[in-house]
Amino acid sequence: MAAGVTVVVDYGTCNIDSMVRALEECGATQVMRSRDARDIDNADRIVLPGVGSFAAAMRNLRQYGLVDALREASGSRSVPFLGACLGMQLMAGEGTEGGEGAGVPGLGLVAGLVDRLVPANQGERIPHIGWNEVAAKSDSTLLAGLPANADFYFVHSFHFQTADPAVEAGRTPFCGGFTSAIEDRERAIFGAQFHPEKSQKNGFRLLRNFLAV
């Protein structure tokens, strides 16, 4: 069992309840759905899920007063943090989705840019929806114990281009290849471009790995 309070950040997007249930099934003893900065300040772990637009999500996080709390928790306090799908993208310094020609500032937890996927081969359709493999780095904490090239469930049109290749924990062979998992173990920051809560046993293994940090 993972002791302490795991806060699932509710910032007005869908997919919150399924993440809460998945974490509970994976052994989290106390899971709290919240959009209160005080709960983030007191969290032992933070999960930022989400589906939707980068710009709209950042607007909601600012409206609810959560940006500074998330930055503080994952900065000086080094609270274990997991971003999933849009939640991973929001960890970037900037995103192009919904910015009407200008970049939209993100949380800035991991240096990089979120930009649109561009098909590299005939038959590649955007949005990228369905099961695809993730080739994990051998020393990954988030993907430890999973089969080589394990499959996960994706729904997205944008991807995270990391400024530092060292933070890439997993890669997926679609649209020329893109970063599908990130981690900075020194700061206990992790991200998954796919939906672990919808990825059956592989996704649940990932969540258990995070809860064990």
The residues annotated as belonging to the active site are 85, 195, 197
User: With b meaning 16 or more CB within 10 Å and e meaning fewer, what string describes 119-140?
Assistant: eeeeeeeeebeeebbbebeeeb
On whether the CB atoms of residues 189 and 70 are closer than 8 A, the answer is: no
Nearest to 58 by CA among 98, 22, 23: 98
Which tokens sit at 76? 């000086």
Asked if 73 contacts 177 with a C-beta cutoff of 8 angstroms, the reply is: no
Q: Provide long-range contacts, Cβ within 8 A and 24+ apart, for 65-68.
A: 65/37, 66/9, 66/11, 66/35, 66/37, 66/40, 67/107, 68/37
Amino acid at 64: Y
What distance in Å separates the CA atoms of residue 209 and residue 23, rounded to the nearest whole number? Answer: 11
Which helix (H) or strand (E) covers residue 204, if one does?
helix 200-211
